[in-house]
Amino acid sequence: MSEPRTSPEVCGMGHSMKRKEDPRFIRGKGNYVDDIQLPGMLHMDIVRSPFAHAKIKSIDASKALKIPGVLAVITGETLAKYNLHWMPTLMSDTQMVLPTEKVMYQAQEVAAVIATDRYVAADGVEAVEVDYEPLPVVVDPFKALAPDAPVLRTDKKDKKDNRIFHWQAGDRAATDKAFAESDVVVKQDMYIPRIHVASIETCGCVADFDRVSGKLTVYMTTQAPHAVRTVFALVAGHVGLSEEKIRIISPDIGGGFGGKVPVYPGYVIAVAASVVIGKPVKWVEDRMENLQADSFARDYHIHAELAAKKDGTMTALRIKTLADHGYADAAANPSKFPAGLFSICTGSYALKHAFAEVDGVYTNKPPGGIAYRCSFRVTEAVHCIERITDVLAQELKMDPAELRLKNFIPPEKFPWKSALGWEYDSGNYPAALHKAMEIVGYEALRKEQAEKRARGELMGICISSFTEIVGAGPSKQFDILGLKMFDSCELRIHPTGKALARFGTKSQGQGHETTYAQIIAEELGIPAAQVQVEEGDTDTAPYGLGTYASRSTPTAGAAGSLAARKVREKAKQIAAHLLECSPDDLVWEPGKFSVKGAPSRSKTIQEIALAAYTNHPQGMEAGLEAVSYYDPPNLTFPFGSYIAVVDIDRGTGQVKVRRFVAVDDCGNIINPMIVDGQIHGGLAMGLAPALLEEISYDDEGNITGGSFMDYLLPTAVETPSWETAKTVTPSPHHPFGAKGVGESATVGAPPAIANAVVDALAHLGVRHVEIPITPEKVWRLLKEKGLAE
Amino acid sequence: MIPSAFDYHAPASIPEAIALLSRFGESAKVISGGQSLLPLLKLRLGTAEHLVDIGRIAGLEYVREEGGSLRIGGRTRESVLERSEIVQTRFPILLDTARVIADPLVRNRATVGGNLAHGDPANDHPATMLALRATVVAQGPNGERTIPIDRFFTGLFATALAADEILTEIRIPVPPNRSGGAYMKLERKVGDYATAAAAAQVTLDGAGNFTEVGLALTNAGPVPVRASAAEDVLLGKRADDARIAEAARRAAEVASPTADRRGSVEYKREMARVLAVRALKKAVERAGGR
Ligand SMILES: Cc1cc2nc3c(=O)[nH]c(=O)nc-3n(C[C@H](O)[C@H](O)[C@H](O)COP(=O)(O)OP(=O)(O)OC[C@H]3O[C@@H](n4cnc5c(N)ncnc54)[C@H](O)[C@@H]3O)c2cc1C
C-alpha cells in the first residue's frame, strides 16, 4: 500500500483510524434490540417441536392461558385467518410461520405465547400441550432422493419427490473430453458440514404497531432492513400494511455473518401479535433456539474430480454436489443463483474446462443454506478446489506449492475469463503465495518435517491459495426477489463543513461508521472524525440491499465515493465563483481547490460548504448534497495465500495449529487495522469448521450439537497467533480500487488447515480427512496405520 | 433458559441452613456456586422449590494445612484453590485440576465442594480426590461425620450426602517427601468436560519403587472410578515405563464410558489409557523419580 494521501487529521484511506463505534461498545453503551424498552411492551416466547417430522393432532392452550400474565397463545390456526401462516423465502420457496398440519424439523416453531413478562411467557410455553403423531423422518439427503423416500413437502400439490433444484454451469461435453484426454485424474468425495453462524447476539425484534397512526415500527436484528420492509409490504399488504407505514430499524447488531439476512418466523409472529393486540411485542431467541432453528450454512456433499497432464498442468474440473437445504430452500442467495456463486470453484487456476452441478434437496432439518461469512457458497467452492489440488499434488508426488505456482492464472492474463463464466477483475497469485512462503519459512519447515518424520513425529505444512468473488452485484445478473443489488449513499455537507452520510447497508461489526467516514474524508478532505455515518433506519437511510457477502465496500462504499465526487463537482463550481475564475482553472488536492499556477489562491472544502448556504452563485441551487445509487459493473475478486503449520499428538490425535500465515489481497485498503481485524476474526471462524464446529442429526432427526456445550466455538486458547500480511492489487473497475475483505479468511482458512493435517499424514498414504478434523478422526487414522501411541 | 419459580433462602449460619434443609426435605437444594445447578434449572432438566444458598455463611472458604492434612473449606471457589500458595507449591495435582475446570469466569464462582457434591462423573475433582485419598466432612441435623472419598460417590449424580447435610470440608493427607501428582485431561476445547482424564498421585522410596499410588479416571462411567487393579500393579514396584504402561492398560479396563459427541467408547477407553500413562509419568517425575 502506498502512503496515505491525506494527513492523520483528515484520516482518509490508508490510515489505521481507531473505530468510531468502539467507545460505545467498549463501555457497554451499545444499543441492541434486547436493549429496547417501550412502554407497555409485551413478551413473546415460542413453543417448539420435539419431533423432526410429525403431524400436529391438537394444541391445547387452556392451561397456559390460565397463568396470570399470559395474554394470548398464537397458533398456525390463528395466523391462517389472516393467511399469514406461510411466508415466502428469499429463494422463492415457501416456509411456515406457524404450522397448521405438521412440523418438519426439530425445534420448529409450533405456537407463540404472549405475556406481560418474559418469565411468565416461559411458564406459558411449558404449559401449552401439543399432541403429535410422529411421521417418518428423512435425515440423509441421498436417501431423500431415493424413489421410495417419503415426499416431505406435501403442501406442494404437484411435488412428487424431494428435489428442490438442479443447477449446472460449464460445458459438460468439453469437460468430459478433456478428462478423457488427460494423463491423470484424481477424485475425492468431501462433505462440508452443516454449521451455524452463532453470532454473539441471537435474533430478535420489538414489533410496535401504533393503532392510531397505523404505523408499524420494527426494531430488528437484520442485515438488510430495506429489503425486509419491502418484503413485509408485499406479504402483508392484504392485511393493511403499506410500505410507507412500515419502518424497520436495525440498531446495533452483535454479529450477523449472513444469519441475519433471512426473515424468521419469530419476527412475523411478533409483528402479527403487535398488530392484533396493539401493543409492542418483544421476541429475543435464546442461544439454543438460535443454534437449533435459525438458518444453517454449508451442508454440501461434494464429489470432485480434477484432470491434469503428467507435468502437473491442470486441464479440467468436474464437480457434482448434493445440497441439503432442510425442509425449505431458505438460502439468501441472489435469486438467479440457487447454488450461490459456487461456480467460482475453478479457483485461482488457469483451468480451461470445467463443469459443476448442484442438486438441492429437502430433508427434515431447519431450512436455510445461508452464506455464513461467505459470498454465497464460495467457502464450499474454495474448500473443494483447494482440497482436490492437494490430492492431485499427492498423486503426482509434487510439492503443493509448486503445483499451485504452475497452475495459477498468470498475473498478465487479467481480466481472466473463467471456464464457468466469471471475469476475474485482477490478481497476482504468485506474489501472494511467494510472500506467504517467505514469511512462514517454507523450505526450512519442509526440512523440519522430514527430520520429524524420521523420528516418528507428525507435523504438516500446507497451503490454500483462494480466490473470492464478492460485491454482488451487477444489476444485469443480480437481484433478490427482483430487487437489484445496487447500494447507495446519501451525503450532506453542513454549512460548517461537517458531513452526514447515510448508506443502504448495515454494519454488524464491520466498522462502517469508521471506514465509510474515511472514504468521504479521502474524497473531500473533510476529517473522518467529522463525518457522521448512519445506516439501518429505513425512514432515514437511502434504499439498499444490506450488508452481507462482503458487498458493502464494493457497492455502498463505491456509492459513498461517487456521492462525494458529485459533491466535489458542485464544490468546484462554487469555488470558481468564490475565486472568480473558470472551474477549468482549478486543481483539487484533498480538502481544497486552488487556482492553477497560483496555489495561494484557494478555497477549502469548509469555506466552500459555508458558501453553499450563504453565498452560492446565482442560478445554482443552494446546499451541498448528493445521492448515489451504485450499480457495480462487475464483482471484485479478492484473493490470498494461507499457510498452516500443524502438529499432531500421536497419543490423542489432537491437532495443534502451530503457525498460520495469511497473506491477503483485497485491493486498495481503507483502514489497515480494520482489515487486520476482519482477517483475525475470519481466521478464527475458518479454523472453527476445520477443527471444531458441526451441527449433526441422529436418525430420528434430533439435533446433536444444539448448544454451546457441543457446538464448539474456538477461543483464544484454540487459535494460534495469526501472522498477517498483504499484497495490493487494486480492482480496476471499483472507484477507489478496493475489493471486499470481510470473508476472505473464513473462506480461505479451512482448506489450509485441512490440507496441513493431511500433509502431516500423507506419508502414511492418507489423502483426505473430513472436516471438522476431530481428535478421534485423526486417532482412527493413526491406529489404522499402526502409529497410535 | 428460564427456570421455573423457586423460593430463595440465604441462611447466615450452618445450623440455620441445616434447619431449612430439614424443613423442606427433598424439595430443597443447596446452592453453592450454582455453576452446575443453575444450568439444570434453567434448562428445566431439574426443579427445586427451595434453594438454600450457603454463600452467605462465613468461614466456609479456606485452604490451609492443619493436623497433617490439607483442609479445603466446603465453599472454597476454584479460583481461590488455584491461587493458594500451598496448593501451588505442594499439590501440583490440585493445581493441574483447577486449571482445567471450565474457564476463569466459571472458576470465580464454582466451588470444590459443589464439584464433589454434584456427583457428576464428568467433573474433574472427583478423580483427583480419589487419587489423593481425600475425606469429605459433612454436617447434618445429627452433627458432623466424615466420609472416605471411596464411599462418597454412590451413583450418577448421587452421593453419600443426605438431603439435609452440607459438605463443609475436604481433607487431604499431606503426602510425604518424594511424592508427586498430576492430572491429565483431554478436552475438545477449553472449558469442556473431559473426553477422558486421569489423576495420579504417587510416593516413591529411595530406590525408586512405588510406596503409594492413587490412580483414578474422569468421565469413565456413571461414577468417578478408582483404578485399583492398576494401583496394585505398581505398588512396591519400580517406576519404569513398562510397568506404567501395564498399569495404564489395567486402568483403561475399568473405564466404562458412553459414546457421545466427545467420542466413541473405544476412543474414550483408549484415551483413558494414554492419559493414565502421561499422568503417571508426570507424577513420577514430580516425585523426583526422573
Ligand atoms: C460452562 C461450564 C463449564 C464447566 N466445565 C467444567 C469442567 O470442565 N470440569 C468440572 O469439573 N466442572 C465444570 N463445570 C462445573 C463447575 O465446576 C461446577 O460449578 C461444579 O461442578 C459445581 O460447583 P458449584 O459450587 O457451582 O455447585 P452448585 O452448582 O451450586 O451445586 C451443584 C450440586 O451440588 C450441591 N452442593 C453444592 N455445594 C454443596 C455443599 N456444600 N453441600 C451439599 N451439597 C452441595 C447442590 O445442591 C447441587 O446439587 C462447568 C460449569 C460450567 C457452567
pLDDT digits (tens, 9 = 90+) for A55-105: 999 999 999 999 999 999 999 999 999 999 999 999 999 999 999 999 999
- Percent of chain A with pLDDT strictly greater than 70: 100
Does the beta-carbon distance from A652 to B5 stay under 8 Å? no
Q: What is the CATH number of the domain that holds A362?
A: 3.30.365.10
Which helix (H) or strand (E) segment holds residue A424: the answer is: strand A423-424
Does residue A445 sit within a domain? yes
Which residue minimizes the CA distance to atom 11 of ligand 1? Answer: B123
pLDDT digits (tens, 9 = 90+) for A315-365: 999 999 999 999 999 999 999 999 999 999 999 999 999 999 999 999 999
Task: Look at residue A755 and give its three-state secondary structure.
Answer: helix
Q: Which residues line ligand 1 (CB under 6 A)?
A: B 29-37, 39, 54, 74-75, 101-102, 106, 110-111, 113-115, 117-118, 123-125, 161, 166-167, 191, 193
As a 3-state breakdown, chain B gives helix, strand, coil percent values, each rounded to 5, of 35, 25, 35
Which of chain B's residues have a Cβ under 8 Å away from the Cβ of A775?
186, 188, 195, 263
Task: Work out the average pLDDT over A697-701.
Answer: 97
Residue A604 has pLDDT above 90, yes or no: yes
Compute the count of residue pairs across chains A and B with CB atoms less than 8 Å apart.
Answer: 51
Could you tell me which residue, A136 or B46, shows the higher pLDDT?
A136
- Cα A321 from Cα A192, distance rounded (Å): 11
- Cα A485 from Cα A478, distance rounded (Å): 6
A776 to chain B, any CB pair closer than 8 A? The answer is yes
**How many residues does this entry show for chain B?**
290
Does residue A169 sit within a domain? no
Residue A1 has pLDDT above 60, yes or no: no
Residue A249 has pLDDT above 60, yes or no: yes
The reply to whether A616 and A639 lie within a common domain is no
Which residue minimizes the CA distance to atom 27 of ligand 1? Answer: B114
- Cα radius of gyration rounded to whole Å, chain A: 27
Task: Work out the average pLDDT over A527-540.
Answer: 98
> Which residue of the set A95, A106, A108, A223 is catalytic?
A223
Does residue A147 sit within a domain? no
B58 to chain A, any CB pair closer than 8 A? The answer is no
Average pLDDT over chain A reads 97
Please choose, from the candidates A516, A433, A462, A414, the residue with its C-alpha nearest in 3D space to the C-alpha of residue A725.
A433
The reply to whether A593 and A688 lie within a common domain is no
Which residue minimizes the CA distance to atom 52 of ligand 1? Answer: B35
- Which own/partner pairs from A781-784 qualify as long-range (CB within 8 Å, at least 24 positions apart)? A781/A653, A782/A648, A782/A650, A782/A653
Straight-line distance from the first to the last Cα atom of chain B, in angstroms, rounded to the nearest whole number: 51
pLDDT for B290 equals 64
The reply to whether A649 and A618 lie within a common domain is no
The answer to whether the beta carbons of residues B125 and B97 sit under 8 Å apart is yes
Task: Work out the average pLDDT over A29-37.
Answer: 97
- Cα A267 from Cα A295, distance rounded (Å): 14
The reply to whether A313 and A375 lie within a common domain is yes
The answer to whether the beta carbons of residues A109 and A43 sit under 8 Å apart is no
A423 Cβ partners below 8 Å, 6+ apart?
A: A415, A416, A417, A634
The reply to whether A277 and A317 lie within a common domain is no
Distance from the Cα of B1 to chain A's closest Cα (Å) equals 7
- Cα B11 from Cα B18, distance rounded (Å): 9
The reply to whether A618 and A720 lie within a common domain is no
pLDDT for B1 equals 84
Please return the burial class of A541, using the count of CB atoms within 10 Å of its CB with bins 0-12, 13-18 and 19+.
buried
The reply to whether A468 and A505 lie within a common domain is no
The reply to whether A692 and A655 lie within a common domain is yes
> Which residue of the set A11, A205, A374, A489 is catalytic?
A374
Does the beta-carbon distance from B274 to A652 stay under 8 Å? yes
pLDDT for A503 equals 98
Distance B30 CA to ligand 1 centre (A): 11
Task: Work out the average pLDDT over A688-694.
Answer: 98
Number of domains in chain A: 3
- Domain final residue pick, A241, A261, A284: A284
Residue A417 has pLDDT above 60, yes or no: yes
- Cβ neighbour number for residue A570 with a 10 Å cutoff: 19
Strand partners, A534: A502
Strand partners, A661: A643, A723
Does the beta-carbon distance from B44 to A126 stay under 8 Å? yes
Residue A2 has pLDDT above 80, yes or no: no
Please choose, from the candidates A160, A257, A248, the residue with its C-alpha nearest in 3D space to the C-alpha of residue A507.
A257
The reply to whether A702 and A593 lie within a common domain is no
Helix axes B241-254, B265-286, angle to 10 degrees: 140
Q: What is the CATH number of the domain that holds A124?
A: 3.90.1170.50
The reply to whether A536 and A521 lie within a common domain is yes
Straight-line distance from the first to the last Cα atom of chain A, in angstroms, rounded to the nearest whole number: 49
| B253: its cell numbers | 479396563
The reply to whether A626 and A640 lie within a common domain is no
Residues of chain B with pLDDT under 50: none
Q: Which residue out of B193, B274, B281 would a mutagenesis test of the A interface target, given it has the greatest number of A Cβ atoms within 10 Å?
A: B274
**Is A743 marked active-site?**
yes
| B267: its cell numbers | 476412543
Does residue A12 sit within a domain? no
Structural domains in chain B?
7-53 (3.30.43.10), 63-173 (3.30.465.10), 179-285 (3.30.390.50)
What distance separates the 2 farthest-apart alpha carbons in chain B? 62
pLDDT for A235 equals 87
Strand B50-53 and strand B28-31: pairing?
Answer: parallel
Confidence of residue A239 (pLDDT cuts 50, 70, 90): confident
Does residue A178 sit within a domain? no
B198 to chain A, any CB pair closer than 8 A? The answer is no
**How many residues does this entry show for chain A?**
789
Confidence of residue A657 (pLDDT cuts 50, 70, 90): very high
Could you tell me which residue, A332 or A488, shows the higher pLDDT?
A488
Q: Using CB atoms, which residue from A718, A776, A779 is nearest to B190?
A: A718
- Domain final residue pick, A630, A655, A678: A630
- Cα A269 from Cα A264, distance rounded (Å): 9
Task: Work out the average pLDDT over A167-183.
Answer: 98
Strand partners, A479: A484
CA closest to B193 among chain A residues: A709
Task: Outline where DSSP puts E strands in A425-516.
Answer: 458-467, 479-480, 483-484, 487-493, 499-503
- Domain final residue pick, A249, A284, A319: A284
Domain span at A551: 22-30+487-630
The reply to whether A435 and A301 lie within a common domain is yes
Please choose, from the candidates A146, A182, A175, A139, the residue with its C-alpha nearest in 3D space to the C-alpha of residue A163.
A146
- Cα A488 from Cα A547, distance rounded (Å): 12
pLDDT digits (tens, 9 = 90+) for A251-292: 999 999 999 999 999 999 999 999 999 999 999 999 999 999
The angle formed by the CA atoms of residues A196, A197 and A198, to the nearest 5 degrees, is 90
Question: Which ranges constitute the DSSP H helices of A236-334?
Answer: 265-277, 287-293
Does residue A186 sit within a domain? no
Does residue A292 sit within a domain? no
**Is A374 marked active-site?**
yes
Task: Work out the average pLDDT over A707-716.
Answer: 96
- Percent of chain A with pLDDT strictly greater than 90: 98
Distance B36 CA to ligand 1 centre (A): 4
- Cα A728 from Cα A110, distance rounded (Å): 52
Confidence (pTM)? 0.97
Does residue A179 sit within a domain? no
Task: Work out the average pLDDT over A112-133.
Answer: 97
